[in-house]
Chain A
Amino acid sequence: MRLFTLCGLLFNTIFFILLAVIIAGFALNWITPLMIFNTVTRIDQDPNSRLILGLISALIILISISFAQSVMGKMQREKNIAFATPSGQVSIALSAVEDLIRRLALQVPEVKSFRPDVVVNKKGIIVNLRIDLRTETSITELTERLQELIKNKIQALLRGIDEPISVRIHVAKIITHEEKEKTKQKIESEIKEPPIPFYGYGR
């Protein structure tokens, strides 16, 4: 673990323990509202104390952000496909594979939008894909074609990695001609009848 992360963890722990002690003290009446008021007044009257308090608050903000980023970075590193080469390690972010799948949407005119989610586990690379279809096509045929296309593309891109790939497709929406017509008519009517500005203000 990096020193900075360790310091952040230690700082956060101490800070929250202190906060808990203060709250517990308040609950047990060891700390009275008057004591808090006196302390706050003393800090308020002394510029040095206020400066120190300001610096402490800036430090807490920075440490908290860095700690959150460090944890998020670690999570990000876990979301990848990794393999070793003689010169070192190569890791491919799953978001990169998702980018690739999104680009494939351009090759399939029947599909309006792709929402891929790639997961890697012991079973291999699993692609969960939610799609919106543009036309009423044969779904079984289309999904088969899509599965084959995505599988081939990932295999071509990650040549040398022998992880099994499975593609799960979920058709979320089919945009029919009626829906298209409705949308078109709505747009046209809006264009034909532009709203009159300040309409309805007169008597």
Chain B
Amino acid sequence: MKMEVDSKTDLAEVKIHQNVIASIATIAALEIEGVKEIGRAVDFDIFRFLGLRNSKSIKVEFSKHGQIKLEIPLVVRYGYNIPEISESVQEGVSQALEKMIDKSPRSITINIQGIEKG
């Protein structure tokens, strides 16, 4: 499974690990008004199960052609419009990735897992 995205400079190749992409996406998503926190990943991961990886995470996948696919689980604040928040997160994350790694993701899937409790 590919875990990094390649980008070439004049001197050499730069490899960006999926965790870096996930971090950029996390920060960009949390900056959007109405987003409370990043939710938990739904699918099973043995490292997550054993506590070796954070369960609150954004899933990053790479296609064969190096295109990025993101899956972002979110918990939103009460009183905000979910479709609007989702689109803002998609735009925000896409812009942040373009700005920082010069690559725009092919698709960003948003999973709204819950509404802020309390």
Q: Which residues of A are interface residues toward B (Cβ below 8 A)?
A: 2, 4, 62, 65-66, 69-70, 73, 76-77, 80, 83, 85, 87-93, 95-96, 99-100, 103, 156-161
Contacts and interface: CB of A to CB of B under 8 A. Distances in A.
Given A80-B111, A157-B81, 16 more contacts: A62-B46, A77-B42, A83-B83, A85-B83, A85-B90, A87-B94, A90-B82, A90-B86, A90-B90, A90-B109, A91-B110, A92-B112, A96-B76, A96-B112, A96-B114, A159-B83
Interface of B: 42-44, 46, 49, 70, 76, 78, 80-84, 86-87, 90-91, 94, 105, 107-115, 117
Nearest to A156: B81
B112 A90 contact: yes
A2 B10 CA distance: 37
Nearest to A80: B111
A108 to B, nearest CB: 16
Contacts of A76: 42
Contact of A66 (B44, B87, B91, B109): B44
A160 B46 CA distance: 38
A87 B107 contact: yes
A95 B112 CA distance: 9
Contacts of B113: 93, 95-96
A190 to B, nearest CB: 31
A135 B86 CA distance: 40
Contact of B115 (A2, A65, A91, A100): A100
B111 A87 contact: no
Contacts of A89: 107, 109-110
A83 B87 CA distance: 11
B90 A88 contact: yes
Contact of A100 (B78, B108, B110): B78
A91 B111 contact: yes
B46 A99 contact: no
Contacts of B81: 156-160
B69 to A, nearest CB: 8
A85 B108 CA distance: 9
